[in-house]
Amino acid sequence: MLPIALTIAGSDPSGGAGIQADLKTFHQFHVYGEAVITLLTVQNTRHVLRVEVVDPALVLQQIEAVVSDIPPAAVKTGALGNAQVVSAVASWARQSCIPLIVDPVMLSKHGAPLLSPEAQQVLKKELIPHATLVTPNLPEAQALTGQTDPQNAARHLLQLGCRAVLIKAGHAEGEPIDLFYDDAGPLTLPGRRIQTLHTHGTGCTLSAAITALLAAGTPLRQAVQQAKSYIQNAIATAPGLGHGHGPLNHWAETTPRVG
């Protein structure tokens, strides 16, 4: 059967991040994509001008409509906007057995807030405990845990109840060495630093790739490693669109290179 994945996230009209990036990524991994919109933005590669969060009841109705008719094999969340939307998504996740990837998007690439401080607390208490994987970058991991060391932050997040954590090191100095942590212990994922402005939607695309791979039946650790390889290729071959932080190449290779 055709693998199916669902993204619950915000809209980026410039197409580089949010549900637009997620759906492109699902398609590239040969997975049928569904999308529930949590917030609307007015943005391009240079700035975010406006953010409007969708009514939480409407978010929940979208989820229920999709899942009851074309149930996905894996789900991811992106920007959720406020505490009420987080709580609505968590109320669904609480009674769902579908693998859930939580990307705790707090800021846009341009620094616009996409998750209020109150919502961060609800995320920790209500949504993260139901996650198969949580994928914060370093600043998000620190905000959620108060820990500056990635391994300590990962262990703290695991104590909240999620099955696994992937801490992304794109904001670190030097080469980006991501950290994956589950009940089998830590796994480091080396990467190479690519000097480019075109990294808009990197976190969305990475979590979408993992979600697509899980929907297709790939084991979690393997999915994380394969998605890391894909995101490196997507950054390295970015098309150079826009006058600011441009989008990735969502049509990059999806299988790790040999040698």
Q: Which two tokens stand for residue 226?
A: 């394969």
Amino acid at 133: L
111 C-beta neighbours (distance < 10 Å), count: 8
Secondary structure of residue 133 in the 3-state scheme: strand
Q: Which two tokens stand for residue 212?
A: 């697509």
Q: Name the catalytic one among 45, 204, 205, 228.
A: 204
170 annotated active-site: no
Taking alpha carbons only, the member of 27, 56, 79, 101 closest to residue 254 is: 27
Secondary structure of residue 151 in the 3-state scheme: helix
Question: Given the DSSP bridges, would you call strands 100-102 and 32-43 parallel, antiparallel or unpaired?
Answer: unpaired
Q: Name the catalytic one among 15, 16, 203, 246.
A: 203
DSSP string, 38-57: EEEEEE-SS-EEEEEEPPHH
Q: Name the catalytic one among 201, 205, 211, 246.
A: 201
Q: Name the catalytic one among 25, 38, 41, 199.
A: 199
202 annotated active-site: yes
204 annotated active-site: yes
Q: How far apart are CA 195 and CA 213, in angstroms?
A: 28
Q: How far apart are CA 197 and CA 183, in angstroms?
A: 36
211 annotated active-site: no
Rg of the chain over Cα atoms, rounded to whole angstroms, equals: 16
Q: Name the catalytic one among 202, 205, 211, 254.
A: 202
Residues annotated as catalytic are: 168, 199, 201-204
